[in-house]
Structure formats: structure tokens, C-alpha cells
């Protein structure tokens, strides 16, 4: 699946099959700038299922690292994963912050336990590379992208697009931003992530400033 700001295409449409190494690959392009009313409903329902006051199991993971990719700057990252209790419809939630010379990217991923319809929900925001990790996690930056991966169906997506009129999508952006803010606190992102990123970069631990809001949520 490709999430692209396809403002020119009002509806997602299957693209021609592409042959690669003797195999046929079907590519579907998702219109994330102006999703249809039905797609908006699917995104809203997926976001509404995410618990604002979750019950976590004792299992968790904290990790850090450095990754390199061809034709891209190296990135340093840190992540936190918490498992939900067994009777939750969600299996786990994972927060990560990736830092390179171009941007800081926050990603929050919720995975379903029994994916009959939705597989996972992803919320993302991007910040300027001049922002330090500690300042980034102390700021409630609004979400810029939402993706809902579904079982046996096309994914749903919504992203900020400057060239499109997105007034109708503000409630979805607001819901996603509120969830990101809530889970920064629930996962103790502000105290854990800056320290892990500093260790990954081989630097002294950076103290996180007091939390603050960055503009409206959504």
C-alpha cells in the first residue's frame, strides 16, 4: 500500500498490474488528502475504538538504535511498547521517535488482538530537525497523518495537504492529536525517550522540559 497525497484523484482506484521478477504486483493508491465520506467514517470508527484510559499488562519493551538506508540520512530512534490486558480488543501500543537531519517523526501504532476488520491504526506527526528530542516530546504537536490498515480491504488514510481544503477533516485530526497527547503521558514518553535517544547517539542524557501545547489539536 502507498500513502500519497493524491489530491488530483478524488477516489482511490486500482492501478494497472506491474510485473516484477515474473510476478504480478497490484498497487492501490490511497487518496489521503480528501478521503470520501465512507472512508472518513471508517477512520473515525477506528480512532473511537482506541481506549483513552487503557489497562496495561505488565509486559513492556524499551528499545533504541541507529539505522542507515540507501540514499537517505542515518536515523537514531527510540521506542516504547506496552501490552494491553488480555480482554482488551487491542494487543499492544507502540510509540517511537525517529530523528535524522531532515525531521523528527513521532509514530503511535495500535495493533488489534483479533484483526477481523482492522489490523492496526497508525498516528504520526513530523517536526523540524532543529527541535531537540526533549523539546519535541514536551510539545503536544498535532497529528499530521492517520492510517488504518484493514484485513482484506484497502487501507484508509488521511494526511495534512496544504493544497487541499481539509476543513471537513478537522474532527479526525483533532481526535488523532488528542490520542497522541494522551499516550505520550500514559507511556511516559517525556522521561524515557530523550534519555534513550541520547544513549543511542552516545551523548549525555538530555533533560525533558515541562510539557506544553503547540497550537490547536487538529
CB 217 within 8 A of CB 177: yes
Round the CA-based radius of gyration of the chain to a whole number and report it: 18
Quote the pLDDT of residue 27. 64
Q: Give the model confidence (pLDDT) of 102-130 as tens digits.
A: 899 999 999 999 888 899 999 999 998 87
CB 158 within 8 A of CB 32: yes
Nearest in space to 120 (alpha carbons), one of 88, 87, 156: 156
pLDDT band at 214 (very low <50, low <70, confident <90, very high): low
The Cα 184–Cα 188 span in angstroms is 6
Q: Give the model confidence (pLDDT) of 170-182 as tens digits.
A: 999 999 999 999 9
Backbone CA torsion sign across 5, 8, 9, 14: negative
Burial 166-201 (b: 16+ CB within 10 A, else e): beebeebbbbbbbbbbbbbebbebbebbbbbbbebe
Amino acid at each position: 500500500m502507498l500513502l500519497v497525497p493524491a489530491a488530483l484523484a478524488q477516489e482511490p482506484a486500482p492501478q494497472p498490474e506491474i510485473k516484477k521478477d515474473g510476478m504480478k504486483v497490484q498497487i492501490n493508491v490511497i487518496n489521503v488528502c480528501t478521503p470520501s465520506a465512507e472512508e472518513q467514517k471508517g477512520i473515525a470508527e477506528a480512532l473511537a475504538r482506541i481506549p483513552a484510559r487503557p489497562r496495561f499488562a505488565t509486559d513492556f519493551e524499551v528499545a533504541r538504535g541507529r539505522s542507515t538506508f540507501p540514499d537517505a540520512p542515518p536515523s537514531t530512534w527510540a521506542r516504547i511498547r506496552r501490552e494491553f490486558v488480555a480482554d482488551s480488543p487491542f494487543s499492544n501500543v507502540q510509540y517511537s521517535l525517529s530523528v535524522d537531519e531532515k525531521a523528527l517523526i513521532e509514530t503511535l501504532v495500535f495493533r488489534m488482538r483479533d484483526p477481523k476488520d482492522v489490523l492496526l491504526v497508525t498516528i504520526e506527526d513530523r517536526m523540524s530537525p532543529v527541535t531537540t528530542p526533549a523539546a519535541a516530546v514536551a510539545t503536544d504537536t498535532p497529528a499530521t497523518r492517520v492510517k488504518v490498515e484493514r484485513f482484506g480491504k484497502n487501507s484508509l488514510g488521511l494526511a495534512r495537504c496544504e493544497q487541499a481544503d481539509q476543513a471537513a477533516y478537522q474532527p479526525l485530526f483533532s481526535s488523532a492529536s488528542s490520542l497522541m497527547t494522551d499516550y505520550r503521558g500514559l507511556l511516559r514518553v517525556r522521561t524515557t525517550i530523550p534519555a534513550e535517544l541520547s544513549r543511542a547517539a552516545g551523548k549525555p542524557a538530555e533533560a525533558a522540559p515541562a510539557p506544553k501545547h503547540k497550537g490547536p489539536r487538529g
